[in-house]
Amino acid sequence: MIQSGRAKLAGLVGWPVSHSRSPRLHGYWLRHHKVDGAYVPLPIRPEAFTQGLRMLAAFGFRGVNVTLPHKEAALAACDEIDDQARRLGAANTIAMKDGRLEGSNTDAFGFLENLIQGAPGWRADETAAVVIGAGGAARAVVAALLDAAVPEIRLVNRTRSRAETVAQELGGPLRVVDWADRARVLSQAGLLVNTTSLGMVGQPPLDLDLSELPRTAAVNDIVYTPLETPLLAQAAMRGNRVVDGLGMLLHQARPGFEAWFGVKPEVTDELRRFVMSD
């Protein structure tokens, strides 16, 4: 699709952004839905972030996605913040309307939609979930599971104090578990989620013995390079349902695309193949 003079504009702000798959993802949807628009990578240094956002709004941009290291700074830069962004202390999506910046966070939405699509039999309210990690991604995952009414969340992190901070800030039925007990705590769980970078290309695998995990449990890794992490390979071998991390990236992008370009996009197998194929 060739843009006209009326093309709707959006993009990704981050530093750096060259590794991101978001331009490819939004570019696919723009072509698929024949939208007169463009989604461009926008590398912005931290010191120029707020000014850069204001300039994009002045240029008529409809909005942006926000990635590292700006997600926290985006809260202060926006005129309005939705409840989820405030709760998570970070915004990943900004809508620009008449010069005003409206920040939101769609990571929890993306996580849950991916899980529902990838493990349709999983019932949130029936069993405990085990979440590994306590960074920004873990907060979004925990918030999503709390909203889905998971009865118990066991939060395991190498640095216990970070998990305690997440538990204090998000509240709910959260139990902080020592790193040394990460294998034992899998007993009777219905879901296991890795939110750490362990298992990513160039990182060591997550060292976790799955023998206590029920074979009915779903296992989700938010790492998507590679799509099949050592954790997912190990889980699939013993018969667990596995959900890779690519879908979280794809689903978290849906609300922004709809707000900026006016079309509800879908996550399909063809999209998954396209986004991973470069």
Quick one: 133 or 256, whose CB is closer to ligand ATR? 133
- Taking the least distance from each CB to ligand ATR, the nearer of 136 and 245 is 136
The distance of closest approach from Cβ of residue 94 to ligand ATR in the complex, given in angstroms and rounded to an integer, is: 19
Q: Is 134 in the site for ligand ATR (CB under 6 A)?
A: yes
Is 156 a binding residue for ligand ATR by CB under 6 A? The answer is no
Point out which span in 36-44, 152-160, 180-188, 246-254 binds ligand ATR (CB under 6 A).
152-160
Q: Per-residue DSSP letters for the chain?
A: ----TT-EEEEEEESS-TT-SHHHHHHHHHHHTT-SEEEEEEE--GGGHHHHHHHHHHTT--EEEE-TT-TTHHHHH-SEE-HHHHHHT---EEEEETTEEEEE--HHHHHHHHHHHH-TT--TTTSEEEEE--SHHHHHHHHHHHHTT-S-EEEE-SSHHHHHHHHHHH-SSEEEE-GGGTTGGGTTEEEEEE-SSTTSTTSPPP----TTS-TT-EEEES--SSSS-HHHHHHHHTT-EEE-SHHHHHHHTHHHHHHHHS------HHHHHHHH--
Give the residue numbers annotated as catalytic, written as ranges. 71
Roughly what angle, to the nearest 10 degrees, separates helices 22-32 and 254-261? Answer: 50
Let me know: does 249 contact 25? Beta carbons within 8 Å: yes
Q: Is 74 in the site for ligand ATR (CB under 6 A)?
A: no
Q: Does 14 bind ligand ATR (CB under 6 A)?
A: no
- Name which of 8 and 251 has its Cβ closer to ligand ATR: 251
Q: Which is nearer to ligand ATR, 65 or 196 (CB)?
A: 196
Residue 151 tokens, joined: 């009865």
Q: Does 158 bind ligand ATR (CB under 6 A)?
A: yes
Of 31-39, 75-83, 132-140, 208-216, the segment contacting ligand ATR by CB under 6 A is 132-140
Count of positions on this chain that bind ligand ATR (CB under 6 A) = 14
In this chain, which of 20, 197, 225, 234 binds ligand ATR, going by CB under 6 A?
A: 197
Choice from 30, 91, 96, 198 touching ligand ATR (CB under 6 A): 198
Q: Does position 196 bind ligand ATR by CB under 6 A?
A: yes
* Residue 9 or 114 with smaller CB distance to ligand ATR: 114
Shortest Å, Cβ 128 to ligand ATR: 19
- Does position 165 bind ligand ATR by CB under 6 A? no
Q: Which residues bind ligand ATR (CB under 6 A)?
A: 133-138, 157-159, 162, 195-198
